[in-house]
């Protein structure tokens, strides 16, 4: 957040480094995990996109000895932590400030790429105001700009602490926080309702896919992916970028740029190799896939491309994930997948049915998403007013 506007009297521009410090997490190794203990490792995944803390999310345990051996990395109830890594295409958790909670007698240990804010200057700032500052779109945009344009954003301690923000007197901070708490409680309830509607639409689609493929699996034979499709590896893309190019450049999150060369043919399914591995995309045109995305091309002698796509929507690729940090898939494991392969006429009939259901679900989600985006824009606008001293 740069100094682009004049602040009210008594306010000042400050940096995070002037009001707090940051502790990087410890680089625990996955081989040190144990099946069960009283010591939980807190990773980036425990910071949820909605800013909530969830210690139970894909919970992993460490030997209890670490609490005594590494006391500086023990987290306490109410500690403020933030993620230091995120995917550039999504930016769901980077910099999200989250309060540690629900220890329930357990020991929480701070993992690498998660930072703990501490040593607050309470003569200058209250933690509640700081949390709102870090969630401001201007600060998030600043952090994203430090990512260097890569697929994954990694920012360090000094980069996080270098963010500038408007700092009002303490009493004004308290007034702003009280006002924002009241306004955002109502907005967040509405956003949660729309998100619930979207989630229920996804659950419905998932249920339909399970039912449809479940019936097909009772009647028809299975084939290995190795025998019925081709997996094309992605390649580095920066050397082929052309803003006026004919073909889109795809990552696992969608279009990233354009090129005049392509790797994959029309009607290909994209599956992420790293990062977003469980959100397949169906692309109707030729495209270049980057090195963190696989292109899955159906052999039309056996498979209708859209039938393959619907199967990938049903399949849980996280079951093939072998990484303990960033989710990842191996081509050799993908080629071992077995799927039901009915006659092409049955496949087409199935696709026609699922297309109708999918279109209905898509329309429902679009309406809900549009409403959510309006509410998020309202929150951003309110934050902007607050940090300009214009929140009455």
> Does the pLDDT of residue 127 top 90, yes or no?
yes
pLDDT digits (tens, 9 = 90+) for 237-253: 989 999 899 999 999 88
316-356 residue pLDDT tens: 999 998 776 678 899 999 999 999 999 999 999 999 999 99
13-167 topology per CATH? Adenine-n6-DNA-methyltransferase TaqI; Chain A, domain 2 (3.90.220)
**pLDDT band for position 25 (cuts 50, 70, 90):** very high
CATH number of 221-341: 3.90.220.20
* Cα-to-chain-centroid distance, residue 284: 25
What is the tens place of the pLDDT at every residue in 57-69?
Answer: 989 999 999 999 9
**Residue 265: its pLDDT value, please?**
98
39-42 and 85-87 beta bridge pairing: unpaired
Q: Which sequence spans correspond to the domains of the chain?
A: 13-167, 221-341
pLDDT at 167: 97
C-alpha span between 249 and 237 (Å, rounded):
8
Cβ-contact 71, 63 below 8 angstroms: no
pLDDT (tens digit, 9 = 90+) per residue, 107-124?
A: 999 999 999 999 999 999
Stretch 7-20: mean pLDDT: 96
Domain pair 13-167 / 221-341, same fold: yes
**What is the arithmetic mean of pLDDT over 89-99?**
76
Q: How far apart are CA 169 and CA 171, in angstroms?
A: 6
Closest CA to 306 of 348, 359, 257, 362: 348
């Amino acid at each position: 957040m740069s100094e682009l506007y004049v602040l009210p009297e008594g306010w000042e521009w400050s940096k995070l480094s002037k009001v707090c410090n940051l502790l990087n997490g410890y680089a625990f190794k996955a081989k040190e995990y144990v099946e069960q203990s009283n010591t939980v490792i807190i990773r980036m995944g425990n910071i949820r996109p909605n800013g909530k803390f969830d210690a139970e999310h894909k919970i992993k345990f460490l030997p209890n000895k670490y609490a005594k051996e590494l006391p500086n990395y023990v987290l306490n109830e109410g500690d403020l932590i933030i993620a230091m890594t995120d995917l550039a295409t999504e930016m769901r958790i980077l910099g999200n400030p989250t309060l540690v909670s629900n220890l329930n007698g357990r020991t929480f240990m701070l993992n690498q790429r998660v930072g703990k804010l501490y040593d607050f200057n309470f003569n200058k700032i209250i933690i509640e105001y700081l949390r709102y500052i870090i969630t401001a779109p201007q600060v998030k945009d600043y952090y994203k700009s430090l990512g260097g344009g890569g697929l994954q954003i990694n920012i360090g301690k000094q980069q996080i602490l270098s963010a500038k923000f408007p700092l009002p007197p303490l009493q004004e901070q308290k007034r702003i926080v009280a006002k924002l708490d009241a306004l955002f409680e109502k907005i967040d309830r509405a956003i949660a309702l729309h998100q619930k509607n979207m989630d229920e639409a996804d659950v419905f689609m998932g249920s339909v896919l399970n039912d449809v493929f479940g019936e097909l699996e009772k009647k028809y034979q299975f084939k290995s992916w190795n025998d019925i499709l081709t997996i094309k590896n992605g390649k580095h893309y920066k050397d082929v970028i052309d803003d006026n190019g004919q073909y889109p450049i795809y990552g696992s999150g969608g279009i990233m740029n354009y090129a005049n060369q392509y790797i994959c043919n029309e009607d290909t399914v994209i599956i992420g190799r790293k990062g977003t591995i469980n959100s397949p995309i169906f692309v109707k045109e030729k495209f270049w896939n980057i090195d963190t995305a696989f292109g899955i091309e159906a052999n039309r002698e056996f498979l209708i491309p859209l039938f393959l796509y619907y199967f990938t929507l049903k399949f849980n690729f996280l079951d093939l994930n072998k990484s303990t940090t960033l989710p990842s898939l191996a081509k050799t494991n993908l080629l071992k997948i077995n799927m039901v392969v009915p006659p092409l006429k049955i496949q087409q009939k199935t696709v026609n049915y699922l297309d109708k259901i999918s279109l209905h679900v898509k329309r429902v989600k679009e309406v809900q998403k549009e409403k959510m985006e309006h509410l998020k824009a309202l929150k951003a606008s309110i934050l902007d007013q607050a940090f300009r001293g214009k929140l009455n």
